[in-house]
Amino acid sequence: MKSRWTGSALALSAGLGAAWLGSMVACNGATETAATGAAGSGGASGTATTGTTTAAGGSTTTGGDDCPDEQFLDVSAFAGAGAAYPKPALEVHCENGEVIVESNGIPHYEFVATTPNDLEEQVYAWHFPLVPKAAAAPTDIPLLGPAGVAANGMPIYGPNEAEMPDPYGDPVFNGIMDDCLGHTGANGTYHYHALLVACLTKVAGDTKPSPILAYAFDGYPVYGPYECADSTCGTTVELKSSWERTGDPSTYAWDNNKCTKATCDSPTGEYLDRCNGHTGPNGDYHYHATLAKDEPAYTGFPYILGCYHGTATNNAGGGMMTGGGPTGGGPTGGGPTGGGGMLPACAPGQMQMCCGDGKCAGPETAMNCAADCG
């Protein structure tokens, strides 16, 4: 069976972006899952292939399977982007060892433009493994484009923008995000560069263990910033990025942030690895959304993902560049030679370097864009 939710009802207040602290979710089998997939946290395992979900806020699994459809929002409990836009639509099911998230790309809360691109309806069918598996080594997330899907069906991106306002700069640092840390890019595609608990759940509480906010395309879940300090959950801890700002992230985010701490390879305590993940107190690997703060040594970069811990399903649809991640920017990790995919033709209002725009810059070369660089 499939579960479909379409939007109406409650509005999300404009101030939710500031209320980013963890949601009221108990730290037990419902939110933390062992890597073997025993229970909870959306870390699905087993042989189940379908999921059934109620349409009540927060969603409840009724099918008794391991499909993580219950981790996604009931978008019918929210007002949607506004009267000028379609209602949000979200459908989640599992088949053939994959989770499939179908969405129309319309957020469940009021859309506020922060770029020249208006919001447009999309046709998404995101895929990721039902049972994530660690790869032999971390791999790059896309330099541009989706790296996973949020709990409301919107794509999540890496921590850099395209050519505007500065070449591959940090859009969170540059302040071009809305209150929920999303905005529209080319072709009206709404997406996130960072995640807030308050925008992706119905309830939020101070320092409670955070719920799942998204899934990376390697299948591992992305939690909010708070987690149980141990298996008894007597206390919670805020997880922090191991990356450090080394330059001006208004230009080329990956070149101005580095992951050189010991915790980048061996995460301990409150610090995450270079992919922005770790193995939690219940033995499951997962990522955490970290947030920008006004502290010299801690910005929260890369906010969601620094790289993939597992093997990602290809959701690029062809031509999506890769190269942002494990080595910390530059030619082998997010730099001009770290990508290599064919670039799409420009669309009106598109804010990225692409073939046919008359420019030869950034990732364009004579090999991948002869029209501009030949």
pLDDT attached to residue 186: 83
pLDDT attached to residue 370: 64
User: Which sequence spans correspond to the domains of the chain?
Assistant: 1-340, 342-374
Segments in the chain below pLDDT 50? 1-64, 317-323, 326-345, 347-352, 362-363
pLDDT attached to residue 269: 93
pLDDT attached to residue 279: 96
Q: Would the CA dihedral through 229, 230, 231, 233 be positive or negative? A: negative
**For 236, phi and psi rounded to 5 degrees?**
-120, 160
pLDDT attached to residue 60: 29
What confidence tens digit (pLDDT) does each residue in 170-198 have? 999 888 999 999 999 988 999 999 999 99
pLDDT attached to residue 61: 31
Tell me, yes or no, if the pTM score tops 0.75.
no
- Residue 91 CA to residue 233 CA, distance in Å, equals 33
- Residue 168 CA to residue 174 CA, distance in Å, equals 11
- Residue 291 CA to residue 354 CA, distance in Å, equals 30
pLDDT attached to residue 35: 27
